[in-house]
Amino acid sequence: MSILTALARLLIFPGILFAVPAAWFFLWVERKSVAMMQGRIGPPFMQPFFDFIKLLGKSTPQRTGVAGALMRAWPLIAVSTAAGAVGLLPVLPSSGGFQGDLILLLALLEVPSICIIAAGFTSRSIFGEIGSAREAVLSVSYNVVFLLAIISVAASQHTFRLEALAQAPATSLRWIGILAVLICLPAKLHLNPFSLPNAEQEIYSGPMVEFAGPELAMWELSHGLEWVAATGLVATLIAPQMAFWGLSALAFVALSFGIVLLLSALAAATARLAIDTTVRFYWQCTIIFAVLAVSSALLMRLRS
C-alpha cells in the first residue's frame, strides 16, 4: 500500500470525507425512520447538517480556567477519536502496509464514551453528574460483553488485524460475536431501551446539559461518527469479500444502513429501562455469552 492510498483511506474513504457526511446521513436515517414508525413526517434530508451549521454559529458563555478549557476539549477529542475509528475500518481490500488494528479501533471507540463521562463531571451540573455516573455504570456493563465478543472472535481467528479478520471465513463463534456486539450497540449509541444516561425527562439529557453552540455541534458530530464506526464495525464483520472495491464499499454502506434501521426500530419499539434493569440485563448477557464463547472456542480447538 502506497502512502497515497493509505492517506486516501484515512482522509477520504472510509475516512473523514466519507465519515462526516455519513454521520449526518445516519443521524437523518435514524430520526426519519423513527418518525415514520411513529406516524410523523420526520426531518428533511439536510436537517442534521443544518443543525450542525446552526449550532456552530451560536455563541456560548465564556468559561474560564481549566474547566472551561476541558469543556471545549472533550467534544473535540470525542470527534477526532470517533473519526479515527471510522478511518480504521478495512472497507477496501489492501495489500500489506497499515491494515487497521482491532485493539486500536476498540480503544478509539471507547474514548467518546469516556469524554462524555468526563464532560458531565466537568460541567459541575447535578444533572450532568448523574448522567455521567449512569454512563459510567452502563459503560462498565456493556463493555464486558462488547469486548469479550470482539476479542473472542479475534482470538479464534488468531489475528488482531481487522482486515484479516474481515476476510476470514465465518464461523459460529463469529456469528455469536456479531450478535453480542449488536446487543451492545443500543447502549453504546445511547438508544432505547438503554438511553438512560441522556434521559431528557429525568436529567435534562444528562452530561450534555451545560453544552451549547459549537461544543454541542461537536458532540452531535461525534455521536454521528460513533454511529458510522459502530455500525461499520458490524458491517465489516458481516460484509462478504468482493473482488471489485466498489462493490465492497457498496456492501459496507448497505449493511451499515440496514443496521441503523434495525437499531432505530428497536429504539422506537421500546421504553427506557432503569439503570438496575439495564445492568442486570448486560451481566446476564455476559454470562450467557461467556458460556457460549468458551464452549465454541473449545469445540473449535477440538476440531482443529
Partner 1 sequence: MSYEIPMGPYHPGLEEPYKLNMICEGETVKDAKLHIGFNFRGIEHLAETRNYIQVIALMERVCGICSFIHTLTLCQAMEKLTGLTPPPRAQYIRVIMGELERLHSHVLWAGIAAKLMGFKTMFMTCFEIREKVMDVLQAISGNRVNYAMNRIGGVNRDIQDPLSILAMVEALENEMTRTIIPIFTTSKTATSRCAGIGVLTTERARSLGVVGPVARASGIGQDLRKEAPYAAYAEMDFSVPVVPDGDVRARLLVRALEIMESCKILRQALAKLPPGEIAPPGDSSKFSFVTGTATARVEAPRGEVMYSVSWKEGARMPSRVHVRTPTYVNMPAVRFMVQGARLADTPLIQAAVDPCYSCTDR
Select the residue interacting with partner 1 from 167, 172, 241, 277 (CB under 8 A).
277
Return the bridge partners of 240, or none: none
Is 123 near partner 1 (CB under 8 A)?
no
How far apart CA 184 and CA 8 sit, in angstroms, is 31
Contacts with 297 (C-beta within 8 Å, 6 or more apart), sequence order:
152, 155, 156, 173
Select the residue interacting with partner 1 from 90, 120, 186, 193 (CB under 8 A).
193
Select the residue interacting with partner 1 from 81, 152, 192, 286 (CB under 8 A).
192
Backbone angles phi, psi at 275, to 5 degrees: -60, -45
How far apart CA 48 and CA 44 sit, in angstroms, is 9
Between 154 and 183, whose beta carbon lies closer to partner 1? 183
How far apart CA 260 and CA 87 sit, in angstroms, is 19
How far apart CA 219 and CA 278 sit, in angstroms, is 24
Question: Interface with partner 1 by CB under 8 A: which range of 94-102, 195-203, 211-219, 233-241?
Answer: 195-203
Is 279 near partner 1 (CB under 8 A)?
no
Q: In angstroms, what is the minimal distance from the CB of 34 to partner 1?
A: 8
Neighbours of 271 (CB within 10 A): 7
CA atoms within 13 A on the CB side of 107: 5
Q: In angstroms, what is the minimal distance from the CB of 228 to partner 1?
A: 24
Q: Which residue has the cell 455469536?
A: 176
Q: In angstroms, what is the minimal distance from the CB of 28 to partner 1?
A: 17
Between 126 and 254, whose beta carbon lies closer to partner 1? 126
Cβ 196 vs Cβ 132: under 8 Å: no
Question: Interface with partner 1 by CB under 8 A: which range of 66-74, 164-172, 189-197, 236-244?
Answer: 189-197
What angle do helix axes 213-238 and 172-188 make, rounded to 10 degrees?
A: 170
Is 117 near partner 1 (CB under 8 A)?
no
Q: Which of residues 1-60 bind partner 1 (CB under 8 A)?
A: 34, 37-40
Between 247 and 274, whose beta carbon lies closer to partner 1? 274
User: How many residues sit in the footprint of partner 1 (CB under 8 A)?
Assistant: 28
Would you tell me which residues interact with partner 1 (CB under 8 A)? 34, 37-40, 126-127, 130, 192-193, 195-196, 199-204, 268-277
